[in-house]
């Protein structure tokens, strides 16, 4: 088992959570992103986190009609605003399918650093084929053995999961093995019976078992849950929103992360590794 060592950390990294409503109007969604960058800049944030499907969404399902390439208008906007503001960004989007003539798209999260460089793409591994939904009818799963997406921001490592991935503790552990100290979960968490409770409980569990902070950013609006939250590595919920659109900024305490991992060395004490399944 190879665990990447964490770098020295500064006292805190400032994170802006954009719990925004997203529609199938891509141009309008880009205006929403512009507003979120303004708020993040005014708050002197180091990183902005947007939800899953931030480029375009419809509650009935997202597919190839919403796909944009990495050099398309959405990611281009992210890169331009990150370079202009010095705010890194993690954002959900939809990419074209990987094979020629594919009738499915790819649910992805892109990572753009504070200079505007596109430094990584995570393609969602666990598609939401549950609770009456069939994401796999419209989307291709990402490869389970792809390297985890980890973005270095101001002395902390932010590792990426997406929405339904939160229900799979192996996904979080694999990102932590790649050096993540903060788990970022962009989501469009479907509303329904017990769903808000599951969202909160799973975010807290992933924080405790990985001694990692969790920044879970949900979409607001019709058919989704909202309720973004930030959980400390000790399991304490430091920020929790309701269903309405909101943008909030928090400081993730690197010193607390180091202290919790020293007091509770469960990552060092474990005896099992995570291996992707075919």
> What angle, rounded to 10 degrees, do the helices at 169-177 and 195-210 form?
30
Pull the structure tokens for residue 65: 């009609």
Residues 6+ apart with CB under 8 A from 246: 19, 220, 228
Pull the structure tokens for residue 76: 């281009």
Show which residues are catalytic.
52, 124, 163
> What angle, rounded to 10 degrees, do the helices at 73-85 and 26-42 form?
10
CA 204 to CA 177: how far, in whole Å?
19
3-state secondary structure 125-168: CCCCCCCCCCHHHCEECCCCCCCCCEEEECCEEEEECCHHHHHC
Q: Are 110 and 120 in contact (CB under 8 A)?
A: yes
Phi, psi of 188 (to 5 degrees): -125, 70
**Other CB atoms within 10 Å distance of the CB of residue 142:** 21
> Cα separations (Å) of 76 from 3, 73, 110, 119?
33, 5, 11, 13
């Amino acid at each position: 088992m190879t665990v990447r060592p964490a770098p020295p950390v500064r006292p805190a990294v400032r994170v802006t959570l954009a719990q925004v409503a997203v529609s199938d109007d891509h141009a309008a969604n880009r205006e929403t992103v512009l507003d979120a960058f303004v708020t993040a800049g005014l708050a002197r944030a180091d990183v902005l986190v947007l939800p899953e499907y931030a480029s375009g969404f419809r509650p009935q399902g997202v597919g190839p009609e919403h796909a944009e390439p990495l050099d398309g208008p959405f990611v281009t906007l992210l890169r331009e605003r990150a370079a202009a503001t010095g705010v890194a960004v993690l954002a959900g989007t939809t990419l074209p399918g990987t094979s020629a003539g594919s009738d499915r798209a790819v649910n992805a999260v892109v990572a753009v650093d504070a200079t505007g460089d596109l430094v990584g793409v995570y393609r969602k591994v666990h598609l939401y084929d549950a609770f009456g939904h069939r994401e796999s009818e419209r989307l291709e799963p990402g490869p389970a053995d792809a390297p985890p997406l980890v973005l270095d921001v101001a002395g902390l490592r932010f590792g990426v999961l997406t929405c339904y991935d939160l229900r799979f503790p192996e996904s979080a552990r694999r990102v932590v093995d790649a050096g993540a100290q903060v788990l970022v979960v962009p989501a469009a968490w479907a509303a329904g019976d017990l769903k808000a409770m599951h969202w909160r409980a799973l975010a807290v569990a992933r924080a405790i078992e990985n001694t990692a902070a969790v920044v879970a950013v949900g979409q607001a609006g019709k058919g989704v849950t909202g309720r973004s939250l930030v959980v400390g590595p000790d399991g304490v919920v430091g920020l929790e929103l309701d269903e309405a659109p909101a943008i909030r900024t928090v400081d993730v305490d690197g010193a607390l992360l180091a202290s919790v991992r020293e007091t509770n060395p469960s990552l060092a004490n474990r005896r099992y590794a995570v291996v992707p399944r075919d």
